[in-house]
Amino acid sequence: MAEIQEKGDSGKGGKKRAKRSSTKIDMTPLVDLAALLITFFMLTTTFNKPQTMEINMPVDPENKEEQIALKASNALTIILGDDDEIYYYFGLADDNPELLESSYAADGIRKVLISPRVKSNDKMTVMVKPMEGSRYKNMVDILDELKITDTKKFALVDIADADKKLVEEQIK
């Protein structure tokens, strides 16, 4: 591995000087060890899998044949309002439903999403409708709640005039 090279005597007489010795280190084993360590750590570590959410894209407006009409009994609408407000109602806006106010807490909208009325209906679709004044944080919070409650069918929908009217009536 390491060797010391000594210079030979020149054969001349005179003062004896200390022999100069030079060291030469063989780096081959160190390179082999580094390669083995890199290989070991690459094979034994687990890589983080990206957490993704599967999203079905909306149907093209020109191809309306593929759209399915939603029954009022299978609809839950969540409206994200201004100032971190959240409203929800069962059914469709055209039927003049009762608009209820909730919160983002565990006993708020999560309690609604895990209620038997929602969980027992396999065809229940949750429609999330953010208003213009709602914050991006509210959208992330409601998507988190949908993930926590394992809601299978939900859609992000533009808010309609009927929904805006329901919220205005609720505020008054």
User: How much is the pLDDT for 35?
Assistant: 94
Q: What is the pLDDT of residues 54-103, one digit of tens each?
A: 666 666 666 655 556 667 778 889 999 888 889 999 888 777 788 888 88
How much is the average pLDDT of 22-49? 86
DSSP bridge partners of 2: 25
- Looking at residue 86, its pLDDT comes to 92
Q: In what order do the strands lie in the sheet with 100-102?
A: 100-102, 86-90, 75-80, 125-130, 154-156
pLDDT at 2 over 80: no
Q: How many CB atoms lie within 10 A of CB 38?
A: 10
Q: What is the pLDDT of residue 33?
A: 92
Higher per-residue pLDDT: 67 or 152: 152
Q: CATH 3.40.50: does it fit domain 71-171?
A: no
Place of tokens 């100032």: 83
Q: Which residues of 58-70 are buried (b: 16+ CB within 10 A; e: fewer)?
A: eeeeeeeeeeeee
The angle subtended at Cα 110 by Cα 108 and Cα 115, nearest 5°, is: 105
Average pLDDT across the chain, whole number: 81
With beta carbons less than 8 A apart as the criterion, state whether 150 and 114 touch: no
Confidence category of residue 38, pLDDT binned at 50, 70, 90:
very high
Q: What is the DSSP string of 5-74?
A: EEPPP-S--SPPPPPPEEEEE--HHHHHHHHHHHHHHHHH--PPPP-----PPPPPTT-GGG--PPPGGG
- pTM for the model stands at 0.62
Predicted confidence at residue 59, as pLDDT, reads: 64
Of 122, 171, 129, the closest CA to residue 151 belongs to 122
Q: Where are the domains of the chain?
A: 71-171
72 neighbors 92 (Cβ within 8 angstroms)? yes
